[in-house]
Amino acid sequence: MARLGFDERELQSRRAIFELHDEDLQRLTAIRAIAERHMAEVVDGFYALLLGHPGTRRFLTDDAQVARLKRTQSAYFLQLFDGRCDLPYVENRIRVGAVHERIGLAPKWYIAAYRRYLALLLERVVLDIPDRAEALAAYQSLKKIVAFDMSIAIDTYIAANLESLGRHQAAIRELSTPVIRVHERLLLLPLVGAIDSQRAQQVMEMVLVRVIEEKARAIIIDIAGVPVVDTKVADHLLKTTAAVKLIGAQTILTGISAQVARTIVQLGVDISSMHTLARLSEGIELGLELVGKRIAPKEPS
């Protein structure tokens, strides 16, 4: 519920959009007896559509399940003629939408199913209303509530997708600043991809936390995987260097391509506060030197 931001105000505004007035609900209540008489035909006809297409049939595994779903469907059918369109009703619709999203039923099936549903309601229920004007009015009301329901279902799909997108982004964010311990007191941060303001801030914080945790003397930042080094990226790197220096460590920048080197110079950025090297391997050598170690060839035995 909270996820869709559905409250009394949204309910009223949406009912207004679909022109779903109290008279519509009353009109539907008035034909409830006729609707009940044809309920089985509508529900059976609806499932005939679902069973007739591979796209929806794969969700219907056995007869017992179909029978159960038909009972749920009958309950929904009757709700349309309950004369209620309040928050509990909406909550119910959201739950139904969420179930269909979870099992992976594409929205096109949802909409196609609703189309068939309306056709069945017209054939079986509406045409059974003796007064023609009344039948037309009832059909209009039915279309309103069905469209209203559909809008909620689609919103549920979108909300679920946004939620999963948000989860992925959080996961990527977590993976995007892997500060690795190369050796005692020497850290490495390989940066890959674009550096936006949010990520830059996260890089700075992660670097500082890890430098303190590891009592690091030096951190290598490798930018071989950063597509563009503009003044903003340079600014972030310089600020990170300054902050790292405050806690007693040095920054070594590696992975600078010939093109990036030339662009940085043309931009007029002064990065002399950092150690800079073309290759990561050279950065590791320098880093080890800064922590008092070096790579030596194996003694011949």
Partner 1 sequence: MGSLAFESQTLSSETMAIDREEDIVHVRKRARMLAQARGFDAFACAALTTAASELARNVWVHGGGGQATLEELSDGNRFGIRMVFRDQGPGIADLERALQGGYSTARSLGLGLSGTRRLVEDFAIDTRPGEGTRVTITKWTRF
Characterize the bridge pairing of strands 250-254 and 186-192: unpaired
What are the E-state strand segments in 109-217?
180-183, 186-192
- Residue placing its CB nearer to partner 1 in the complex, 173 or 232: 232
Specify whether the CB–CB gap between 177 and 25 falls below 8 A: no
Q: Which of 13, 61, 259, 272 binds partner 1 (CB under 8 A)?
A: 259
> How many residues sit in the footprint of partner 1 (CB under 8 A)?
22
Q: What's the closest the beta carbon of residue 226 comes to partner 1, in angstroms?
A: 11
Kindly state whether residue 230 participates in binding partner 1, applying the rule CB under 8 A: yes
Kindly state whether residue 260 participates in binding partner 1, applying the rule CB under 8 A: yes
Please choose, out of 16-24, 207-215, 221-229, 274-282, the segment that lies near partner 1 by the rule CB under 8 A. Answer: 221-229
Q: Which of 95, 167, 262, 279 binds partner 1 (CB under 8 A)?
A: 262
Q: How far apart are CA 180 and CA 163, in angstroms?
A: 30
Kindly state whether residue 273 participates in binding partner 1, applying the rule CB under 8 A: no
CA 74 vs CA 47, 94, 128, 150, 287: distances in Å: 11, 18, 19, 17, 71
Q: Which of 74, 92, 202, 263 binds partner 1 (CB under 8 A)?
A: 263
Q: How far apart are CA 204 and CA 243, in angstroms?
A: 8
Kindly state whether residue 229 participates in binding partner 1, applying the rule CB under 8 A: yes
DSSP run (H or E) holding 71:
helix 63-79
Kindly state whether residue 272 participates in binding partner 1, applying the rule CB under 8 A: no
Kindly state whether residue 235 participates in binding partner 1, applying the rule CB under 8 A: yes
DSSP designation for 257: -
The tokens describing 52, both together, are: 């007739």
Q: Which residues bind partner 1 (CB under 8 A)?
A: 194, 196-197, 227-232, 234-235, 238, 257-260, 262-263, 266-269
